[in-house]
Amino acid sequence: MQYIEIDGAQGEGGGQILRSALALSVITQKPFRLYNIRAKRAKPGLLRQHLTAVQGVQAISRAQVEGATLRSTALTFVPQRVKAGTYHFSIGTAGSTSLVLQALVYPLLMADGPSKVTIEGGTHNAFAPPFEYLTEVLLPVLKRMGMPIHATLERYGFYPQGGGRVVFEIEPMTQPAALTLMTCPAFKTSAEVIHSGMPEAYVAQAFKPVRHRLGWEASQCVDTPLAARSGKGAVLYVRFAAEQHSALFTGFGGLRVAPQSMAKTVLNDVCRFMQAQVPVDQHLADQLLLPMALVGQGCFLTQNPSLHTETNRLMIQTFLPTQIHLERVGPDQCEVRFQSV
């Protein structure tokens, strides 16, 4: 048997290499061997979130797997055909439900019937797309590409408590459509803090730097308290909403994170996005690479790619006969085009 050999230390050296390899292996029916898993992270190897992704893709494809244990730094994966069905996966920590979905959703879009997937774990944690990012940004764009996915948040799961639950209903992709996002729409802007178990003053302090730096009115800032049973945590959203697609920038807070710190990183990303004058922000660009490569055509204008995006591009082209062309066309503008070969 011929395996694709993958060095997990290449590029950004994180979990995206694993998730993309799992999804693409099932889609293309190409087995792989992955070594140096998450080599550039503080805790290398498979953590609970990554192990759940492996076990999930193994379950939906009846794959043969070696090395699927906690802290494992090597994995051998031999896929079988994906099977539609009802699945339930529990991470057991506050690990991201959204990132586990990344490994599962694209193979299930290729199944011969609808699937229902329940994932328990973290729904709002740093370095991962929160639930609202999926429903407001990614899933609407995927629907335009002929990839119908519906998500329901049944229970919030803030870091570090976790305990959230999300249900995804995935229909097979029948008529893939090329996506073109080359012009910047007229976005409507707003900010929101959703929070649970946090002092009232925390939210007010989070909005201060947003209003000061962006010059926004108080009416553009929305305070959304949640039931105390949701745990303790806060999330700051800065939204750019348009009819066809949106952008969403996120900061995560909590009792150990000052509200000003929560806002600072978000505002740096927001200001850069506004200056770039592009329709697709850097994070969405990374999310779009795999589904657009499956369609095999399309284009979008985004910010200059991150190392994360560059690494994902190389992974996709390892499995698929699709060329992903990146051309810088401005100080912080990059044109991304997809071409089947």
Q: What percent of the chain has pLDDT over 90?
A: 90
With a cut of 70, say whether residue 230 has pLDDT above it. no
Tell me the pLDDT tens digit for each residue of 51-74.
999 999 999 999 999 999 999 999
Q: CA 283 to CA 268: how far, in whole Å?
A: 14
Nearest-5° Cα angle at 74, 73 to 80: 135
Low-confidence winner among 125-129, 226-230, 326-330 (lowest mean pLDDT): 226-230
Residues classed as catalytic: 308
Quick one: pLDDT at residue 160? 82
Tokens of 59: 């379950």
Q: Give the mean model confidence (pLDDT) for residues 176-187.
A: 95
For the entire predicted model, the pTM comes to: 0.95
Write down the pLDDT at residue 200: 86
Across residues 108-125, what is the average pLDDT? 96
pLDDT the model gives residue 229: 67
Kindly state the average pLDDT of the residues 97-112. Answer: 97
Average pLDDT over residues 206-229: 91
Q: Kindly state the average pLDDT of the residues 141-168.
A: 94
Q: For residues 105 and 151, what is the distance between their CA atoms, to the nearest angstrom?
A: 12
Structural domains of the chain ordered from first start: 1-83 (3.30.110), 84-175 (3.65.10.20), 188-276 (3.30.360.20)
Beta strands 115-121 and 164-170 are antiparallel
**Rounded to an integer, what distance in angstroms lies between the CA atom of residue 96 and that of residue 131?**
10
- Number of Cβ within 10 Å of residue 332's Cβ equals 15
pLDDT beyond 80 at 231? no
Q: What is the pLDDT of residue 228?
A: 66
Q: Model confidence over 13-44: pLDDT tens digits?
A: 999 999 999 999 999 999 999 999 999 999 99
Identify the pLDDT of residue 261: 92
What is the pLDDT at residue 126?
87
Average pLDDT score over the chain: 95
Residue type, 300: F
